[in-house]
Amino acid sequence: ASDASVVRPPEQKLSPADWIQRNLFDSWISSILTLASAAILFWVITTFGNWAFNQANWSVVSSNLKIFTSGTYPREELWRVWLVLGLVMATLGSAGGAWGGVLRQYMLGLGILFGIGALLPFGAAQPLMGGVSIATFAGAALAWNRQVWRLGSILIWALVLPIALELLLGGSLPQLRTIRAEQLSGLLLTLILAAAALIIAFPIGVLLALGRANNTLPVVKLFCTVVIELIRGVPLTTILFAAWLLVPFFLGGISVNLLIRAEVGFILFTAVYVAEDVRGGLQAVSRGQVEAARAIGLNPFQITLLVVLPQALRVSVPALVNEFLTLFKDTSLVFIIGLIDLLQAGRVVFTNPDWLGTQKEVLFFIGLIYFICCYAMAYAAKRIEANLGLGER
380/24 Cα distance (integer angstroms): 31
pLDDT digits (tens, 9 = 90+) for 48-87: 999 999 998 999 988 888 899 888 888 888 888 889 989 8
**Helix and strand numbers, DSSP H then E, in the chain:** 18, 0
Of 154, 115, 117, which Cα lies nearest the Cα of 138? Answer: 115
20 is a domain residue: no
> CATH no. for residue 268?
1.10.3720.10
55/41 Cα distance (integer angstroms): 20
Residue 296 and residue 256 share a domain: yes
Please, what is the average pLDDT of the chain? Answer: 85
pLDDT digits (tens, 9 = 90+) for 172-190: 777 888 888 778 889 989 9
215 is a domain residue: yes
Last residue of a domain, one of 148, 179, 210: 179
Residue 312 and residue 202 share a domain: yes
Last residue of a domain, one of 160, 179, 198: 179
26 is a domain residue: no
pLDDT at residue 138 above 60? yes
State the pLDDT at residue 392: 54
Residue 310 and residue 241 share a domain: yes
pLDDT band at 390 (very low <50, low <70, confident <90, very high): low
**What mean pLDDT is predicted for residues 344-371?**
92
C-alpha dihedral (140, 118, 373, 157), degrees to nearest 10: 40
Residue 169 and residue 224 share a domain: no
Could you tell me if 371 and 342 are in contact, meaning their C-beta atoms sit under 8 angstroms apart? no
126/132 Cα distance (integer angstroms): 10
Which region, left, alpha or beta, applies to residue 171 given φ > 0 means left and ψ of -120 to 50 means alpha? left
Query: Which residues partner with 37 through β-bridges?
Result: none
291/298 Cα distance (integer angstroms): 10
12 is a domain residue: no
pLDDT band at 1 (very low <50, low <70, confident <90, very high): very low
Q: Which residues contact 117 (CB under 8 A, 6 or more apart)?
A: 125, 126, 129, 133
Domain count, the chain: 2
Residue 93 belongs to what domain range?
Answer: 75-179
Last residue of a domain, one of 179, 202, 225: 179
Residue 163 and residue 99 share a domain: yes
State the pLDDT at residue 92: 84
pTM: 0.83
Residue of higher predicted confidence among 157 and 375: 375
93/134 Cα distance (integer angstroms): 10
127 is a domain residue: yes
Could you tell me if 79 and 167 are in contact, meaning their C-beta atoms sit under 8 angstroms apart? no
Residue 166 and residue 196 share a domain: no
